[in-house]
Structure 1
Amino acid sequence: MAKRATSKKKKTTAPVTRRVKRRVIGYLFKAVVGVVAVMLAGILLFSVLNPPTTPYMFSESRRLGGIDHQWVPLEDIAPVMARSVIAAEDANFCNHWGFDLAAIKNAIAEGSNRGASTLSQQTVKNVYLWHGRTWFRKALEAAITPLLEAIWTKRRIVEVYLNVAEFDEGVFGVDAAAQHYFGVIPSDLTATQAARLAAVLPSPKTRSASRPTAGLRKRSAQIRDGAATISKDGRASCFES
């Protein structure tokens, strides 16, 4: 009798376990679909509307008691500024779909991640995510970047990036940066000024475009030459057309 009871118990438990597994899988599937839907909605929304703030801008505003940020359309920014950022951060921007595989291979070979992150990835991080080097954030960034590239134009990516990037502590966007460092509006930036702004981007809290060190001057000169080069060889065509 005891053996029969055990057998019946096993038969009863098996269907319950399968139902629980199906429910868990169902919940996970719905969660994934929900996350993808939210991502798509956010990407579609900001493809036509300007982001009023970002998670990082919001946190810095709370920490500092306010930030300097004004939105300016790409057509009101000196073209050399966009070219300088591309030259500094992602020279192959017009030739990839969100990930620069050649840069990633070089970064792995050198044991560094510097230069592997494209402008598209940085835009995703700045607009939708948070700063940090966790694998979870990088995974989300990798998932969202192809969607951004599929829905936004290259010109839109450059425009948004230039308007949300941090150029100094509490100074966000090229409009605030141009006035903060040089007292000019973005459309009046010179090639040298644009190159210096692009040069501070990797470490805006420790670098100054108006008081450049010898190293920053050297880096700025390289960026200025790079901006001129990509203008001549057509690598700026995707965001200047």
Structure 2
Amino acid sequence: MKRNKLFVYVCCLVVGMASFFLVRSSALNAQEPLPLQSNIGTSTKIEFVQPNLLSKAELSESDNSSILNQPSLIAASVDSNEIIKFACEPRQVDVHNYSGGVVSYCKKKDFTIAENDSARVDIKPGAARAPHWHNTWEEQVLISGKAKTFVIDNKGQVHEEVMQPGMVSFLPAGLTHWSEAVGNETASFLFIFPAGFKTFELSDSIANLNPKVMKSIMGVQLAKIKQNRDAVLMIDK
């Protein structure tokens, strides 16, 4: 009797294990990906490109030789022997001397790497950069000395700023403006403009007015006025 019970127990155990493995095998087969259906013909050859990746050993190299030997992304058309001029001393390029100071330029036509024109303006004590305007904006940076910059807005209102070294001012296109040195030290500015800017002097505009119109406005005759054509002039005390 005991043998019969043992035989039944063993049979149940075998059947149970067989069922377990059968179910597990079915589950694993269900997880396998189905073959992809593609429109690519059987004759089409598919090529896989392996990217040129650096190995862990190469990344740990102290001399970075593997990194440095990678293909360059810089255009190979640049002549390695060509000297690139990326700095300019305006007082050695385009210099204009006036009674009240000096204006010197580094313009794109002479400094081709630049995307703008620039000027250094040195205003002597007691002098001013004469009133004028441009067809573009202007940015000023005071390098040394002390100065006042004036601008006339579209309503005719005059505004002024006292400039200290390192200060920046921005003057919109078309607004009349000028700068004066303050104190006993030369005021040195860096002016920046879009490339190809143009300057219009206020004195030229006044000189070209109809004499009768000028007399009606100012009460003086142009024939009696002597135009000072200096862009940087001494201010009469």
TM-score, scaled to structure 1: 0.23
Of structures 1 and 2, the one scoring higher in RCO (CA 8 A, sep 6+) is 1
Kindly indicate which of the two structures has a greater share of residues assigned to helix.
1
Question: If you compute each CA radius of gyration, which structure gives the higher value, 1 or 2?
Answer: 2
TM-score, scaled to structure 2: 0.24
